[in-house]
Chain A
């Protein structure tokens, strides 16, 4: 009797601990194609110039434009003559989305790693340093018409997708995806250019850049964290610290000793007078939306784009006074059609306003910007702009366009590098 009860108890115990239900889903979906971590760390290499296919962010340094080919690498364009830009070389960097340059070192993300490349000799670009496994595991854009298959991070990084029949155990994961918010944004602001690729200067990124450099410190933001690297030694990239800075961080912008982090719900301001120790100062909340931001003197310009992946259906330009960094004040908002990136050159603001095209404003009086629209070019559809010294570099689905904007009412097309 006792033995029987013992058996029953034993079997019940085994059942309770072992009999787990299993749910298997079968569907046609995006099945990941992997690159092993070993291959990833051997994959950076220079190749011959190639056509633009899926351009992302752009970066300007001296006479060169660096165009990110989303998740593939970087096109290097010799732009010493904006009327005749020359596609010089291509740097294969798997998983690349963001870049920043200081001196002759180019810093780029490569999936979960950050790499430093010596670009002093454009015929011999080589990797000089790498910090492994520092960025979140991310996946490339996929065909939204099909669901995603599970991802096995042990197999490596995901370099692409194959549409096929998938059988997998039902479970849920969350990964950030490169290719949605990033690809549609990148505008411009002026950096402090004091040298060439072989010099000591820092290049110019966009208003949607996630990489930024000040002095000997490189900042990289992901959705929730900031990663602070020391770049004092050009040949040695060192992670100093990383910490949480909020939620849905999209952009990073540096002005002097102030760091602005744009998220989908606001702008956070940090003091970086001690570059390796950003100190929180204040936050400005706005309506949810994708928000490139540029700052000029004591004014911050933010474009909010709503819809789909960007939250509310609000499209506007927000002008913020950041004279008192502890208490940013909203000065005014202006309705827009569907703005992407923006850039500023002195008192001239360039807004890539979706289907409404490129808009150019005089922002001398931030309270009457709408009354001082200098020009609008509906035919210029772009999501990324860098205005520098009278040359406006625009990138859109069609490729890289450069305009002479010295006469703001009559900007003149200088050249096109088309997407093929």
Chain B
């Protein structure tokens, strides 16, 4: 996890560093016209407390979308994430770029549903208090759950068609599990999300 975090920080330095080289206070904006199709392919970490059973699971996302305006885009995302099991997040992606320029901060919001790729999840839970082994391992069927992910980031285009994207977000992920009886389990994940990705147009 530490290595991955360092790698993300390294890419952040690359992005912001290259932006610094291009910075020109006298340049006129817009530098480009942002419209049409784009693709963002990124990787990231869902970072939480070390006390969590999965402290920083890996996340891989692909977003395909298009610009509604130069500064506003919408898209559909898919990916793979590993939160106490494997999930396929399917979500709507909305982005607002602060500047109509190669280098621009942006705000984004993602909302959707994580579809389970595994069938089962086991959790230890109380059943009886005064037996030799007072716990019961209960098998739950993973049902998936809603995700919300607002955040902000930096886009830096190196050419008309290629750029890098770094973002920081907050992920609220609720996952549902159902046992054979009426027992249900809700898992709430509140994570800091660090992502680095490439942008194609």
B68 part of interface (Cβ distance < 8 Å)? no
The docked-state distance in angstroms from the alpha carbon of A4 to that of B184 is 42
Cross-chain contact A309 with B129 (CB below 8 angstroms) = no
B184 near A309: Cβ-Cβ < 8 Å: no
- Nearest to A17 among chain B residues (CB) is B49
- Is B25 located at the chain interface by the 8 A CB criterion? no
Q: A230 to B70, alpha carbons, bound, how many Å?
A: 86
Closest B residue, CB atoms, query A147: B127
**Is residue A324 within 8 Å, beta carbon to beta carbon, of the partner chain?**
no
Q: How far is the CB of A84 from chain B (nearest CB, A)?
A: 39
Asked if A24 and B48 make an inter-chain contact with CB atoms under 8 angstroms apart, the answer reads no
Q: Which of B47, B123, B126, B130 interacts with A15 by CB under 8 Å?
A: B47
Would A26 and B183 be within 8 Å (CB), given that A15-B192, A19-B49 are in contact? yes
Residues in A with CB closer than 8 Å to B128 are: 144, 147-148
What's the Cα separation between A171 and B134 when bound, in Å? 12
Chain B residues 89 to 148 lying within 8 A of chain A, measured CB to CB, are: 123-132, 134-135
Question: Is A409 close to B, CB under 8 A?
Answer: no
Contacts of A14 in B (CB 8 A): 192
Does A160 count as interface, using CB distance less than 8 angstroms?
Answer: no
Chain B interface SS verdict (over half): mixed
A382 to chain B minimum Cβ distance, whole angstroms, is: 24
Q: Contact at A23–B123, with CB atoms within 8 Å? A: yes
Which of B5-13, B34-42, B71-79 forms part of the interface with chain A?
B5-13
| Cβ contacts under 8 Å, A177 to chain B | 129-130
**Complex alpha-carbon distance, A173 and B130, angstroms:** 10
Contact A148–B50 (Cβ < 8 Å): no
Instruction: Say whether A28 contacts B191, CB under 8 Å.
Output: no
Check A174 against B134 for contact (C-beta < 8 Å): yes
Interface size class of A (residues with CB under 8 A): 35 or more
Task: Check A22 for interface membership: any CB of B closer than 8 A.
Answer: yes
Identify which of B16, B50, B135, B190 contacts A16 (C-beta below 8 A): B50
A23 to B192, CA, bound (A): 18
What's the least CB distance linking A152 to chain B, in Å? Answer: 14
Q: Are B47 and A172 in contact (CB under 8 A)?
A: no
Within 8 Å by CB of A173, from B48, B129, B168, lies B129
Instruction: Assess the A147–B126 pair: CB atoms within 8 A.
Output: yes
A173 to B128 CA separation, bound complex (whole angstroms): 10
Decide if A148 touches B49 in the complex (CB within 8 Å): no
In the complex, the answer to whether A11 meets B168 with C-beta atoms within 8 Å is yes
Question: Are A172 and B124 in contact (CB-based, < 8 A)?
Answer: yes
B127, B134, B168: the one within 8 Å of A8 (CB) = B168
Residues of B within 8 A of A243 (CB): none
Q: Known: A15-B192, A148-B128. Is A25-B184 also a contact (CB below 8 A)?
A: yes
Q: Say whether A154 faces chain B, with CB atoms less than 8 Å apart.
A: no
- Report the bound CA distance from A26 to B178 in whole Å: 10
- CB-CB nearest in chain A for B184: A26
Which residues of B, 169-185, contact A by the 8 Å Cβ criterion?
A: 181-185
Q: How far is the CA of A25 from the CA of B125 in the complex (A)?
A: 9
Q: Is B159 an interface residue (CB 8 A)?
A: no
Give the nearest-CB partner of B46 in chain A. A19
With both chains docked as a complex, state the minimum distance between the C-beta of A273 and any C-beta of chain B, in angstroms: 34
What's the Cα separation between A171 and B125 when bound, in Å? 7
Which residues on the A side are within 8 Å of B23 (C-beta)?
A: none
A20 within 8 A of B: yes
In the assembled complex, the CB of A319 is this many whole angstroms from the nearest CB of chain B, namely 27
Given contacts A11-B192, A24-B188, A25-B184, is CB(A309)–CB(B131) below 8 Å?
A: yes
A1 at the interface (CB under 8 A from B): yes
Beta-carbon contact of A139 and B129 below 8 Å: yes
Within 8 A of B (CB), among A99-155: 139, 144, 147-148, 150
- A170 close to B134 (CB less than 8 A): no
Q: Pick from A18, A21, A25 the residue with the most CB of B within 10 Å.
A: A21
Does residue B82 face the partner (Cβ distance < 8 Å to A)? no
Given the known inter-chain contacts A24-B186, A25-B125, A170-B185, please indicate yes or no for A5 contacting B9, CB distance below 8 A. Answer: yes
Question: Which listed residue, A12, A21, A25, touches B188 by the CB 8 Å rule?
Answer: A21
Residues of chain A in range 152-209 having any CB-CB distance to chain B below 8 Å: 170-177, 180
* Chain A proximity of B118: nearest CB distance (Å): 17
**How far is A22 from B127 in the complex, measured between Cα atoms in Å?**
19
B189 touches A21 (CB 8 A): yes
B31 at the interface (CB under 8 A from A): no
Complex: chain B residue closest to A13, CB-CB: B192
Q: Are B183 and A27 in contact (CB under 8 A)?
A: yes
Question: How far does the alpha carbon of A266 sit from the alpha carbon of B151 in the complex, in Å?
Answer: 63
Contacting residue for B186 out of A1, A26, A173, CB 8 A: A26
Q: Which residues of chain B are within 8 angstroms of A176 by Cβ–Cβ distance?
A: 129-130
Whether the pair B125, A4 counts as a contact (CB closer than 8 A) is no
Given A23-B186, A26-B184 in contact, is the A172-B126 Cβ separation under 8 Å?
Answer: yes
B26 at the interface (CB under 8 A from A): no
B52 in the interface, Cβ–Cβ < 8 Å? yes
Known contacts A21-B52, A148-B128; can you find 5 more A-B pairs with CB under 8 A?
A: A1-B13, A1-B16, A19-B52, A26-B186, A172-B134
Q: Which residues on B are within 8 Å of A, measured CB to CB?
A: 5, 9, 12-13, 16-17, 20, 47-54, 123-132, 134-135, 168, 181-192, 194
Q: 7 closest A-B pairs (Cβ-Cβ)? A: A15-B192, A19-B48, A177-B130, A24-B186, A22-B188, A27-B183, A26-B184
28 A-B residue contacts at CB 8 Å? A1-B13, A1-B16, A12-B47, A12-B194, A15-B48, A16-B47, A19-B49, A19-B192, A20-B49, A20-B52, A20-B190, A21-B48, A21-B188, A22-B187, A23-B187, A23-B188, A25-B186, A26-B185, A27-B181, A28-B182, A139-B129, A147-B183, A170-B123, A171-B126, A174-B129, A174-B134, A176-B130, A309-B130
Measured CB to CB, the residues of A under 8 A from B are 1, 4-5, 8, 11-12, 14-28, 139, 144, 147-148, 150, 170-177, 180, 309, 311
